[in-house]
Amino acid sequence: MAVDPGTPDGPLAMLERLRRATNDHDLEALVACFAPGYRNETPAHPGRGFTGRDQVRKNWEQIFRFVPDLTADVLAYTIDADTIWTEWEHRGTRPDGSGHVMRGVVIFGVRDGLAEWARFFLEPLDDGGGDSGGGVDGAIRRQVAPGLPS
C-alpha cells in the first residue's frame, strides 16, 4: 500500500520513502532513510543487531543482488508520536529460482525524517514445510520441550 507521506520530516514520509526506494531498488535513496547512527535491534535474534548506516547499505546490497525482483508492501501501520509500527511483506525470487518471502513487523523511531532506531521482527515465511510440521501443536512442543518425544 502506498502511504500518505504526511509532513515532510515525519514518520509517514520516511515510511513512504523507504517503501518506494525498496521497490525501486534505489540503494542510495534507501540508505538515505536512515540516520548515520541508526540502531537496529532484532529481539528474536539478538546477535543480529547492529549500529550504523554502513551496515544498512551492506545488508541491502546483498538483498538487491540476490533477490533482484524484490517487492515490498506495507500491509499496515500506526503512529504514536515519533514511533511508527509497520507490517511488511517482502517477495521475490532467489538466484536458484526459489521464492523469497518475508513477513513481519518493524517498529521505527523517526527523527527529522530519518529512522534513528528500529526493532526488527521481519522473518522468512514458514509455510509449514520442512522440519516445522505438526502445525501449532508441533510448534509449541518444539518450543517448550525440544528433543523430547511427543
Average pLDDT score, the chain: 90
Which pLDDT value is given to residue 13? 93
Please report which confidence band the pLDDT of residue 6 belongs to, taking 50, 70 and 90 as the band edges.
low
Rg (CA), the chain: 17
E strands within the chain? 34-41, 50-51, 71-80, 83-93, 99-111, 114-124
Q: Global pTM?
A: 0.85
Classify each residue of 18-34 as buried b or exposed e, where b means 16 or more C-beta atoms within 10 Å of its C-beta: bbbbbeebebeebbebb
C-alpha 100/C-alpha 92 separation (Å) is 5
pLDDT digits (tens, 9 = 90+) for 92-130: 999 999 999 999 999 999 999 999 999 999 999 987 655
Please report which confidence band the pLDDT of residue 79 belongs to, taking 50, 70 and 90 as the band edges.
very high
Domains of the chain, by residue range, sit at: 11-144
Percent of the chain whose predicted confidence (pLDDT) is above 90: 77
Which pLDDT value is given to residue 150? 60
Which pLDDT value is given to residue 131? 53
Please report which confidence band the pLDDT of residue 2 belongs to, taking 50, 70 and 90 as the band edges.
low
Please report which confidence band the pLDDT of residue 8 belongs to, taking 50, 70 and 90 as the band edges.
low
Which pLDDT value is given to residue 112? 93
Residue 36 confidence (pLDDT) above 60? yes
C-alpha 7/C-alpha 20 separation (Å) is 17
Fold exhibited by the domain 11-144: Nuclear Transport Factor 2; Chain: A, (3.10.450)
Residue 82 confidence (pLDDT) above 90? yes
C-alpha cell at 45: 535474534
pLDDT, average across residues 53-71:
97
Range list of H helices, the chain: 11-24, 27-31, 53-66, 135-144
Q: What are phi and psi of 134, to 5 degrees?
A: 95, 0
Residue 3, SS3 per DSSP: coil
